[in-house]
Amino acid sequence: PNGLDRLVFDFSANCWLEVKDANGRGLRQGEQPAGATMQVDGKGPFSLKIGDAAAISELLLNGEAVTLPTDSPGKVVRISAP
């Protein structure tokens, strides 16, 4: 309703991440603990840098599931959503 996009992360393990909006403005950065849920609102597309994509059990963009690369557990992953 406010014209912003919403990301919701669910973490199954400790995970460091950085989230930037379409303008490159940092929205969140730091380590999230296992079992945590984090919501970020901003203007997409978002730029995500994730320390371990396998540590994110679910990622939703505006209620739709986003598939994360899981072929490199423990490696830093950079993606754009959407």
The more confident residue out of 42 and 69 is: 42
Please, are residues 59 and 30 in contact by the beta-carbon 8 Å criterion? no
Return the bridge partners of 78, or none: 49
Rounded CA separation 33/47 (Å):
21
Rounded CA separation 8/64 (Å):
10
Which pLDDT band, with edges at 50, 70 and 90, does 68 fall under? confident
What is the rounded average pLDDT of the residues 63-67? 93
pLDDT tens sequence across 21-57: 999 999 999 999 999 999 999 999 999 999 988 899 9
| Percentage, residues of the chain above pLDDT 90 | 76
Q: What is the pTM of this model?
A: 0.89
